[in-house]
Amino acid sequence: MLNASLTELARLLEAKQISSVELTQSLLGRIERLNPTLNAFVTVRAETSLAQAREADARRARGDALPLTGIPVAQKDIFCAHGWPTTCGSRMLSNFVAPYDAEIIRRFDAAGVVNLGKTNMDEFAMGSSNETSFFGPVRNPWAPAAVPGGSSGGSATAVAARLAPAATGTDTGGSIRQPAALCGISGIKPTYGVVSRYGMIAFASSLDQAGPMAKSAEDLALLLNVMAGFDPRDSTSLDRPPEDYARDLAKPLTGLRIGLPKQYFAEGVNADVLRAIEEAIAGFRRLGCETVEVDLPNTRLSIPVYYVLAPAEASSNLARYDGVRYGHRAAHYTDLTDMYQKSRAEGFGPEVKRRILIGTYVLSHGYYDAYYLQAQKLRRLIAHDFAEAFKVCDVIMGPTSPTTAFDLGAKSGDPVQMYLSDIFTIAVNLAGLPGMSIPAGFGDDGRPVGLQVIGNYFSEARMLNVAHQYQLATDWHRRVPAGLEVDAQ
């Protein structure tokens, strides 16, 4: 049952062939065996999860269950969950226990979903490899010497290794799509504002977006049905009527126009990644789709624009962690200024400090106009490129990442090379568009390749339809890392 989709699990629960308690116990046992190697979870509270599972079973017995009632979902450790440690992968919050629920946690609780635990992540979601966590790096289940991608690498590893049927993630510059690609699972970043950010620890507020990660597009649709919706406590939440994101899954793709940006198939992409993506595109043509070349000329500016705007917002958001109002406080200091300095120096890791320094610099007097304001203008041009492309196509496709998963430590000494890991995902966040990654084959090294699907605003249902039809015709999303097959445990 650990290979089952959410739909299949719901059917088994409804038919009383399994109970939520049995399912949760099975997953907790697998986590206990495999997590010491993979480091995907930072917090597991078995008794709390089992209590939620018992309540879900009772709810089914009363006849008031919803589609996902009793199904365990792992939560990225960036979401506040009442009574659970919420560390955001940082020493700064290593002792923080959330006194309230994030909106998506509240929605999952209301749906009867079991909280399976909190997953490891890059510190404050800053990273492309999941190597910056205070709790150590996460390992890729397909290649334990490789990274899972970041910052939602713990969630991606948990799903790929069958430690959880599904998980949540956040995507500021590709942090759902990139780890989904490197771990061979499916993940979607919705349109900015579709899922509430209330109770999600902020990194860069104009870019952060929560979304689900799972084995298939069909599972993502079921999860998004629970997660999405207007929240008056989030000023960036969009007040729109509720949607059924699974409504279009069965639609044929005949006549769908796929835009292929020439910048996404240029120099810099590994040959084996390109080969897998081109084979996937050929598969869509066999399903009746048409392809057209589109131009996204400002793609090359995405990285520099992002690394001005995101650190600027991060330096503001993280100012609250001073050892007085929030976060770690140094044990020894001489005066107030010394306490601030030592608390932040001890509490933050090197990558977070680097981004705070960059952000503070670009917002400082004399440099705001030269850097921050120019970056905002370029952000508008990047969004305009997508608007022009969507005049001639329905969705855009290309590689999610230019490479397969790289080895631990391979890029940690070169921040620029690390930042380039997200070159195809960042523009989507700058424009506020929805984007997703689905498994599309393997590289020459046997590591997964992800296909990125980008849609126009509020086209999540169509994107999930496109991905689901592809997954009906392929089995990449059903592959399990060698040695981690459920039957082998």
Residue 280: strand, helix, or coil: helix
pLDDT higher than threshold 80 for residue 488: no
Residue 285: strand, helix, or coil: helix
Rounded CA gap, 438 and 354, in Å? 32
Which band of pLDDT confidence, cut at 50, 70 and 90, is reported for residue 36? very high
Q: Using one digit for the tens of pLDDT, what is the confidence trace for 396-441?
A: 999 999 999 999 999 988 888 888 889 999 999 999 999 999 999 9
Burial category of 446 from C-beta neighbours within 10 Å (exposed 0-12, middle 13-18, buried 19 and up): exposed
Q: What is the rounded average pLDDT of the residues 21-25?
A: 98
Q: In what order do the strands lie in the sheet with 210-214?
A: 41-43, 114-119, 72-76, 166-170, 210-214, 186-189, 435-442, 448-455, 395-399, 257-261, 290-294
Which residues belong to the active site?
76, 151, 175
pLDDT higher than threshold 90 for residue 2: no
Please name which of 351, 346, 356 lies closest in space to residue 412, comparing C-alpha atoms. Answer: 351
Which band of pLDDT confidence, cut at 50, 70 and 90, is reported for residue 487? low
Rounded CA gap, 156 and 185, in Å? 7
Predicted local confidence at residue 489, as pLDDT: 47
Strands 257-261 and 290-294, by their bridges, are parallel
pTM to 2 decimal places: 0.97
pLDDT higher than threshold 80 for residue 336: yes
Predicted local confidence at residue 267, as pLDDT: 81
Which band of pLDDT confidence, cut at 50, 70 and 90, is reported for residue 86? very high
Q: What is the rounded average pLDDT of the residues 132-156?
A: 97
Q: Please say whether the beta carbons of 324 and 341 come within 8 A.
A: no
Rounded CA gap, 128 and 113, in Å? 29
